[in-house]
Structure 1
Amino acid sequence: MVRVLIADDDPNILELISLYIGNEGYQVVKAKDGQDAIEQLESERIDLAIIDLMMPKVDGYELCEEIRQYYKIPVLMVTAKGETKDKVKGFQLGTDDYVVKPFDPLEIVMRVKALLRRYQVEASNELKTRNVTMNTSKKEIQVDGERLTMPLKEFELLYTLASYPEQIFTRNQLIERIWGLDYEGDDRTIDVHIKRIRDKLSKSNAAISIKTVRGLGYKIEVFK
Structure 2
Amino acid sequence: MKVLIADDEQDMLRILKAYFEKEGFEVLLAKDGEEALQIFYDEKIDLAILDWMMPKHSGITVCQEIKKNSSVKVLMLTAKSESEDELAALQSGADEYVKKPFHPGVLITRAKKLIQHDDIIQVQDVKINFAKNKVYKNDIELEITKTELELIKCFLNHKGTILTR
User: Normalising TM by the smaller chain, what interval?
Assistant: 0.7 to 0.9
Alpha-carbon shift at residue 45 of structure 1 (Å): 1.4
Q: Cα gap change, 1:134/1:58 in structure 2, threshold over 3 Å: closer, same or farther? A: farther
Map of 1:6 onto structure 2: 5
Name the SS for the 2:114 alignment partner. Answer: helix
Alignment coverage as a number of residue pairs: 136
Map of 2:154 onto structure 1: none
* Structure 2 residue 139 is the aligned partner of structure 1 residue 142: yes
The list of structure 1 runs, each at least 4 consecutive aligned residues, that deviate by more than 2 angstroms after superposition, is 141-145
Alpha-carbon shift at residue 112 of structure 1 (Å): 1.0
- 1:13-92 matches, within 5 Å, as 13-92=12-91
Counterparts of 1:49 and 1:15, CA distance in 2 = 16
Tell which deviates more after alignment, 39-48 or 60-69. 39-48
Give the residue type in structure 2 aligned to 1:64: C
Alpha-carbon shift at residue 143 of structure 1 (Å): 5.5
Give the residue type in structure 2 aligned to 1:109: I
Q: Which sections of structure 2, spanning at least 5 residues, go unmatched?
A: 143-165
The higher relative CO (CA closer than 8 Å, separation ≥ 6) is in 2
Name the SS for the 1:82 alignment partner. Answer: coil
Q: Cα gap change, 1:91/1:27 in structure 2, threshold over 3 Å: closer, same or farther? A: same
Question: Structure 1 length as normaliser, TM-score?
Answer: 0.56
Counterparts of 1:143 and 1:67, CA distance in 2 = 36
Q: Percent identity?
A: 38
Q: Deviations over 1:132-190 (max 9, x none)?
A: x888xxxxx63568xxxxxxxxxxxxxxxxxxxxxxxxxxxxxxxxxxxxxxxxxxxxx
Provide the alpha-carbon RMSD of the alignment. 2.3
Q: Which sections of structure 1, spanning at least 5 residues, go unmatched?
A: 136-140, 146-224
Q: Deviations over 1:172-215 (max 9, x none)?
A: xxxxxxxxxxxxxxxxxxxxxxxxxxxxxxxxxxxxxxxxxxxx
Name the SS for the 1:5 alignment partner. Answer: strand
Alpha-carbon shift at residue 77 of structure 1 (Å): 0.5
Map of 2:96 onto structure 1: 97
